[in-house]
Amino acid sequence: MNQTQDFKLIAIEGNIGVGKSTLLPKLADRLSNLDDRPWRLIIEEVDTDPEFQRLLKAFTNDPSQRINFQRYITNKRAETCQDLDPGFNYIIERSLFSDLVFCQANLAEACRPDGKDLDYYYDIQDKLEDYPQVSAVVYLKSDPIVSYERMLSRGRDAEVGTPQSYIQLISDCHNTFLPHICDKYNTHLLTVDWTHFGCPDGLAEQVIDVCQVLNAG
């Protein structure tokens, strides 16, 4: 990770269905209004990516296909953050930290992880060596039952069949592993309760406060 970059990169992390996509445009707009430097939004275009949808559906129908899905996501996320313009700050929907969390969840779910599963975990860490420094993670924490219901309500065909137990597992892995990941990569962790959503204005002010602390440090 680049420890001397001139811009801030804030990653929004959280469970499936927590409300990241709804929040992000509002948060990016608020941050640009509060900061001297404009903020750009980096969002995962999952609904318009046919390969993402194909691999997600295959994974949902057959958990043994998870590695193909996760590798595709990891490669896309790594490519998206290459050569970012230092004239902007950035807010991103999920970072490579997400891949570490989901990899832990998938390893926990597998009956007998094989070499490909373990190699993938270390491949993510290798990609993080060339990844921009994640200045801070905003973890949108929610009741996993609420996240599951939100996932169902958005009606994505590729997600049909995802069990509630998997959403619970993802929640548990975020709570357990995300603090350790952030500590390892010298990233500030801001956890906010998003079970009943929250205020984008107030969250933007918290992010700006974190950035000021990071600048002072």
For residue 182, being part of any structural domain is answered with yes
Q: Is residue 3 part of a domain?
A: no
User: What CATH code is carried by the domain that includes residue 168?
Assistant: 3.40.50.300
What is the band of 206 on the pLDDT scale with cuts at 50, 70, 90? Answer: very high
Domain for residue 107, yes or no?
Answer: yes
Mean pLDDT of 83-95: 95
61 appears as a binding residue in the annotation: no
- Considering the domain boundaries, does residue 86 fall inside one? yes
Domain range for 31: 9-215
Please tell me which residue in 13, 93, 129, 149 is annotated as part of the active site: 93
Look at residue 123 and tell me if it is in a domain: yes
Q: Is 46 annotated as a binding residue?
A: no
194 within a domain of the structure (yes/no): yes
pLDDT at 41 over 70: yes
> What domain count does the chain have?
1
Q: Determine, yes or no, domain membership for 56.
A: yes
151 is in an annotated binding site: yes
- Segment 141-148 mean pLDDT: 97
Q: Judge whether 171 is annotated as a binding position.
A: no
Supply the pLDDT for residue 2. Answer: 62
Is 149 among the catalytic positions?
no
Residue linked to tokens 């991103």: 92
- Looking at the predicted structure, is the pLDDT value of residue 42 above 80? yes
167 is in an annotated binding site: no
Asked if residue 4 belongs to a domain, the reply is no
DSSP conformation letters of 26-62: HHHHHHHHHSSS-EEEE---GGG-HHHHHHHHHHHH-
- Average pLDDT (35-59) is 86
pLDDT at 113: 63
Rounded mean pLDDT, 143-165? 91
- Stronger pLDDT, 123 or 3, i.e. the higher one: 123
